[in-house]
A = this chain, B = another copy of it.
Amino acid sequence: MSTKYIQLSHGGGGLEMNKLIRGLFFEAFDNAILRSEEDAALLNLTGQTAFTTDSFTVSPLFFAGGDIGKLAIAGTVNDLAMVGAEPQYLSLGVIIEEGFPFDSLKTIVQSMATELKKSGAKIVCGDTKVVPKGCADGLFLNTTGVGRVIRPGISAKALQPGDAILVSRDIGRHGAAILMAREGLELESGLQSDCATLWGTVEQLLIHPFEIRAMRDATRGGLSAVLNEWAVASNVNIQVNEGDVPVADEVRGLCELYGFEPMDLANEGTFVVALPKSQADGALEVLKRFGHCEHAAIIGEVCEAPQGKVILNTPWGSRRYLDLPAGELLPRIC
Contacts and interface: CB of A to CB of B under 8 A. Distances in A.
Interface of A: 7-9, 11-18, 36-45, 48-57, 59, 79-80, 82-83, 85, 89, 91-95, 124-127, 129-132, 134-137, 140, 142, 144-147, 149, 155-156, 216-217, 219-222, 225, 229, 233, 264, 266, 324-329, 331-332, 334
Given A39-B217, A53-B93, 12 more contacts: A8-B331, A11-B220, A13-B225, A14-B221, A38-B82, A38-B156, A40-B50, A42-B48, A42-B83, A93-B144, A95-B140, A131-B137
Contacts of A233: 37
B146 A37 contact: no
Contact of A13 (B9, B39, B129, B325): B325
Given A37-B233, A225-B14, A229-B37, A95 B55 contact: yes
When all copies of this chain in the complex are counted, the total is 2
B40 A52 contact: yes
A83 B38 contact: yes
A52 B45 contact: no
Contacts of A126: 53
Contacts of A15: 324-327
Contacts of A85: 40
Contact of A331 (B11, B37, B49, B52): B11
Per DSSP, chain A at the interface is mixed
Contacts of A56: 129
A75 to B, nearest CB: 9
Sort A-B residue pairs by CB-CB distance and give the 8 closest, nearest first: A13-B220, A13-B221, A53-B91, A144-B144, A40-B52, A14-B325, A40-B50, A135-B137
A45 B45 CA distance: 7
A150 to B, nearest CB: 12
A217 B39 CA distance: 9
A82 B39 contact: yes
Nearest to A329: B12
A219 B131 CA distance: 17
B14 A129 contact: no
A48 B45 CA distance: 7
A125 B55 CA distance: 12
